[in-house]
Amino acid sequence: MVEAGKLAKGVDGRHASRRDLRASRRGEDEEECRQRGMSYTHDSLYFAVPLNLVNRPNKRRQPPDQVSELTTNRLSVYLRCLNELDAAGVQTISSQALAEQFHLNAAQIRKDLAYFGEFGVRGVGYYVKELRRHLRQILGLDRHLRVAIMGAGNLGLALADYPGFRQEGFEIAALFDAANEKIGHESRGGVPIYDIKELKRVAKKGRLDIAVIAVPAPHAQPVVEQVVSAGIKAILNFSPGALKVPGDVKLKSVDLTVSLESLSFYLAQGEGDGG
């Protein structure tokens, strides 16, 4: 019969050997991770997480018609937040910290990102640079987009020379107008102004991806029809009123008057409460 003391000593010895083996393997794994540029993390088990594999999106993307415009709008907001974090040198951030810092909703962040893949790492959060890169891909900002502005009036010229568009990958390639005194000239930033009748030719020659409508309301629908005829499939409209486009063309309208009226309502409610 084996004495109890010897048995206990043997068990302790085996446990110690296993601990030593695990510690040795952990040290080897950590060294391998450092040599291969990998991030080493652990929970109850030890495992290595390659930095180039975390935040990996699912192979199957959600079709665009299954993702709401509100969701894509929020993705743009997340991207701006990540741009700010990246510029500040932040490497990782959790959904909760992201929400708290930029006054967002953590659960909504996780839900929106889940449409496109699995981006977070348990115990780490999101790698800022990687998530920023994926969001740019999702939003189609990893490619060069050429934009044409319809209307070389004050609004059109101001939009053409706005530097923020180019910084985000949007090249303002051309302005179009019907006024003879404007055709053949350029904006202050050097964007050429073409005759609106040349739209189809210019679009065919230089590829125009997006058209911006910046003409008076009475002319907006005829101009939109010319844009569609030129083969442009995405339109941003600044003219007031509803416009009609075919089903295969995406139209997004920005009505500044509606926004001002909404602010006016807010002020009126405040005055009413104060009275």
Does 17 fall in a domain? no
Per residue in 255-273, pLDDT (tens digit) is: 888 889 999 999 998 776 6
Does 209 fall in a domain? yes
| Helix 69-87 vs helix 106-114: crossing angle, to nearest 10 | 110
Amino acid identity of 234? A
Q: Mean pLDDT over residues 196-210, rounded?
A: 94
Contact partners, residue 253, CB within 8 Å, separation at least 6: 236, 237, 238, 239, 242, 243
Nearest alpha-carbon partner for 52 in 116, 112, 142, 127: 127
- Looking at the fold, whether 104 and 201 belong to one and the same domain comes out as no
Amino acid identity of 206? G
Does 208 fall in a domain? yes
- Looking at the fold, whether 176 and 133 belong to one and the same domain comes out as no
Q: What's the burial of 253, exposed, middle or buried (CB within 10 Å: 0-12/13-18/19+)?
A: middle
CATH of the domain at 72: 1.10.10.10
What's the predicted TM-score (pTM) here? 0.69
- Looking at the fold, whether 104 and 149 belong to one and the same domain comes out as no
**Which of 4-18, 22-36, 73-87 has the largest mean confidence?**
73-87
Radius of gyration of the chain (CA): 28
**Which of 50-59, 167-176, 178-187 has the largest mean confidence?**
178-187
Cα gap 194→176, rounded to integer Å: 5
Q: What is the largest CA-CA distance in the chain?
A: 110
CATH of the domain at 232: 3.40.50.720
Amino acid identity of 93? I
| Residue 134 confidence (pLDDT) above 80 | yes
- Looking at the fold, whether 98 and 149 belong to one and the same domain comes out as no
- Looking at the fold, whether 72 and 109 belong to one and the same domain comes out as yes
- Looking at the fold, whether 153 and 133 belong to one and the same domain comes out as no
Domain count for the chain: 2
Q: Are strands 126-127 and 92-93 parallel, antiparallel or unpaired?
A: antiparallel
- Looking at the fold, whether 134 and 213 belong to one and the same domain comes out as no
| CB-CB contact of 146 with 113 (8 Å) | no
Work out the mean pLDDT of the chain and round it to a whole number.
Answer: 82
Give the pLDDT of residue 274: 59
User: What is the residue range of 101's domain?
Assistant: 64-138
Indicate the SS3 state at residue 111: helix
Q: Residue 176 corresponds to which tokens in the numbers above?
A: 């179009």
- Looking at the fold, whether 97 and 150 belong to one and the same domain comes out as no
Q: Which of 138, 164, 189 is the last residue of a domain?
A: 138
- Looking at the fold, whether 152 and 86 belong to one and the same domain comes out as no
Cα gap 196→201, rounded to integer Å: 10
Q: Mean pLDDT over residues 8-15, rounded?
A: 47
Q: Tokens 């991770």 identify what position?
A: 33
Does 15 fall in a domain? no
Does 268 fall in a domain? no
- Looking at the fold, whether 128 and 171 belong to one and the same domain comes out as no
Q: What's the burial of 23, exposed, middle or buried (CB within 10 Å: 0-12/13-18/19+)?
A: exposed
H helix count then E strand count, the chain:
10, 10
Give the pLDDT of residue 27: 53
Q: Which of 84, 109, 138 is the last residue of a domain?
A: 138
CA atoms within 13 A on the CB side of 176: 25
- Looking at the fold, whether 157 and 78 belong to one and the same domain comes out as no
Does 179 fall in a domain? yes
Per residue in 208-242, pLDDT (tens digit) is: 999 999 999 999 999 999 999 999 999 999 998 89
Does 113 fall in a domain? yes
- Looking at the fold, whether 159 and 236 belong to one and the same domain comes out as yes
Does 5 fall in a domain? no
Q: Which of 122, 138, 154 is the last residue of a domain?
A: 138
Give the pLDDT of residue 118: 87
| Residue 4 confidence (pLDDT) above 50 | no
Between 23-37, 116-130, 142-156, the lowest mean confidence (pLDDT) is in: 23-37
Model confidence at 65, pLDDT cuts 50, 70, 90, reads: low
